Structure 1
Amino acid sequence: MLWKETTNEIFSVKSLYNVLASRRVDQFPNSLIWSPCVPTKVSFFAWEASWGKVLTLDQLKKRGRILANRCFLCCEEEESIDHILIHCTRARVI
């Protein structure tokens, strides 16, 4: 097997690191979240949501609370920040 990412086509951990480091992932959108155009409470919610700190039922379950974990809007999936903000069909309508 040849490693096409180097000139000598030999794999090394250093060459893999260099390839991964060069493929820069987009930076966290701080300027969008903390924009003066965005209300402060919306900025804080977006910040907490992006770090997984919104107290949804799945987060409470991880903290040891025993709860029936169902989305209160659609009652179809477990409640998580991803479900509420992205996947929940009822939340999309709102």
Structure 2
Amino acid sequence: MATDAEGVIVGATAGGVPVPGEGEVYALAVTDGSRRRGVGTALLTAATERMRDHGALDQRVELPAAADPALPFYTRLGFSALSPTRWSRPLAP
């Protein structure tokens, strides 16, 4: 979870390692007023570190649609297509 200076929640993420070696981003959300300020990147970075700590060697995310608005965010961070809505990236140790 991410909060602003007043303690208001501005973003949250959820993820895990449901299959040995494979991290999964279940959800990542940032409020409209906090987008493009590094909140999503910070949340994903923290989730990624937890996944690495639990043995993840790659990370995946399923988007609701092939043209999802979050797609540029994920591709900028190194995710590539496994299918039109499923994306993955390797996690360096």
Band the TM-score falls in, shorter-chain normalisation: under 0.3
| Alignment TM-score, normalising by the size of structure 2 | 0.24
- Higher helix content, 1 or 2: 1
Higher relative contact order (CA 8 A, sep 6+): 2
Larger radius of gyration: 1
- Higher strand content, 1 or 2: 2
